[in-house]
Amino acid sequence: MSEDRKPLTIAGLGDLHVTEVASHPCRDLLREIAARADVLALCGDLTNLGTTREAEILAEELITCSIPVIAVLGNHDFESGQPQEVARIVRQAGVLLLEGQVHEIDGVGFAGTKGFAGGFENRLLSPFGEPVIKQFVTEAVNEAARLENNLRALRTERIVVVLHYAPVAGTVEGEPKEIFPFLGNSRLAETIDRFPVAAVLHGHAHQGAHLAKTPRGIPVYNCAHSVKKPDGRAYALIEV
């Protein structure tokens, strides 16, 4: 990193799961984050059931946030079959969505995608057998390809990746072993390790571990709201 470039402090927060009955569900939290960070990265599951009303409630909160907000969608944001509408509503609140786009803030490039399931390392699901299995794996492969395309579009010295699903098994430790394959897949890590990424932020694994690394040593932070962070807060603070 060039000596004349100051570090950027990023607050990573995942799995807000805003509901239709929520009243100012995260305004105080957003105010606190804005006082401590330069950028907020939302790691998916912005809403609980992916309804327009949930998205509108969240947008009303986010429009008050005084720092830039980067985000990806999560699986819950797809539940009602209208992720495009959820995306449209939060974009109107000024959120910079990493869905087929990249963004640069103060010399730091941000790339990301939702990601998908499939398992990790030598337990990674392969596209063999029934068509439905092949379709499942194809979705994971396509998400990794989308991330690669986004990373190739960046020309910054510092890069942060934002995901919903985990790219490594280390940050899902603490969850039941039986659901590990549904919490992420290592194809994402294989893609990330081909680029000069400074940090990876994700959510989804509510009972997982806060910190792990990709095979190449890139730090991966589980920013799910309920995951225990070193300072006891609901969000992670990362400096790049």
Which amino acid appears at position 182 of this protein? Answer: F
Q: Is the pLDDT of residue 169 over 80?
A: yes
pTM equals 0.95
pLDDT in tens, 128-137: 999 999 999 9
Residues 6+ apart with CB under 8 A from 32: none
Mean pLDDT value across residues 40-50: 97
The pLDDT, as a whole number, for residue 4 is: 62
Superfamily of domain 9-239: Metallo-dependent phosphatases (3.60.21.10)
User: For residue 1, what pLDDT band results from cuts at 50, 70 and 90?
Assistant: very low
pLDDT in tens, 193-236: 999 999 999 999 999 999 999 999 999 999 999 998 989 999 99
Mean pLDDT value across residues 136-159: 96
Question: Token match 């940050």: residue?
Answer: 171
